[in-house]
Amino acid sequence: MGGISGGADGSPDPFDGGDGGVPQSGVTLEFDVLGPNGQPAGGGPLDFEEFSITQVTLQMHSLQLIGDTAPSGDLVYDSRAVQFPNGSAMRVSFVDAPPGIYSRLTFDIERTWAEESLPEGFDGVRLAVRVLGEAHLSNKDRAFEYIDDQLASIELGFDEEVTAGIPGIVSVELDLTEWFDGVDWAMLDSQGNPNKPIPIGMGENDETAGILRAALPTAFDVRQ
């Protein structure tokens, strides 16, 4: 996982929130990957009509929570890696978030910084995104790997009121159906060596990589 810092001063947060419970104050972000039924999935692989997903790894930077009592720049986490499957929701907690109405979350999906640890799912390479899965073709299933190191900026609007003494929870969902909807799997299968996994990104099938990069911001949403 990437390093996490929290609070207005950027000092280490006493609660990481990666695999434990929700703290008793502030605001916690929970990141979920949606399965074929549109519900959060704790494990995989996830089998959709045209493809299946076995692994998703995303490097997030500059996660910023904004509200009426927390203006832009007050509540920022430097870095967080989200990996699926993980067995539970990935969490980022702003334990110092004051009571108020929170309405916006912004973050970047970006290549891992040189000074931070690489997520296990990146297999030793500095990336922003890596997804492993299989394409369901007319006569076979074929493995694919999508990798990218380009920036994608995410901005999500919502309405979450946090009262004193009661922790707030904001559930952020990644819809894989929405993300991969524009991929032409038959076209990709016709390219390159049919006996090897389909490569997407970093110089391979870059048009499809561009489609996925453009679709990623709209594939995130906050559960209302």
123: left (phi over 0), alpha (psi -120 to 50) or beta: left
Residue 17: the pLDDT is 42
Domain ranges, residue 65: 27-222
Q: Can you tell me whether residue 168 is helix, strand or coil?
A: strand
Question: Which residues have CB under 8 Å from 19's CB, separation 6+?
Answer: 86, 88, 91
Residue 89: the pLDDT is 65
Residue 42: the pLDDT is 76
Q: Note the pLDDT tens digit of each residue in 60-111.
A: 999 999 999 888 888 999 999 999 987 566 899 998 899 999 999 999 999 9
Half-sphere exposure of 60 (CA within 13 A, CB side): 26
Residue 57: the pLDDT is 96
Residue 90: the pLDDT is 86
Using CA atoms, how far residue 85 sits from 32, 150, 198, in Å, is 10, 23, 21
Which residue type does 39 have?
Q
Nearest 10 degrees: Cα torsion 46, 48, 53, 58: -100
pTM of this prediction exceeds 0.85: yes
Residue 158 is assigned to a structural domain of this protein: yes
Residue 121: the pLDDT is 94
10: left (phi over 0), alpha (psi -120 to 50) or beta: left
Number of domains in the chain: 1
- Return the closest-CA partner of residue 110 out of 132, 129, 131: 129
Residue 18: the pLDDT is 46
Residue 59: the pLDDT is 97
Residue 81 is assigned to a structural domain of this protein: yes
Residue 21: the pLDDT is 55
Residue 52 is assigned to a structural domain of this protein: yes
d(CA 96, CA 99): 9
Residue 73: the pLDDT is 86
Residue 16: the pLDDT is 42
Low-confidence ranges of the chain (pLDDT < 70): 1-25, 87-89
Residue 12 is assigned to a structural domain of this protein: no
Residue 4 is assigned to a structural domain of this protein: no
Residue 165: the pLDDT is 84
Residue 158: the pLDDT is 94
Residue 55 is assigned to a structural domain of this protein: yes
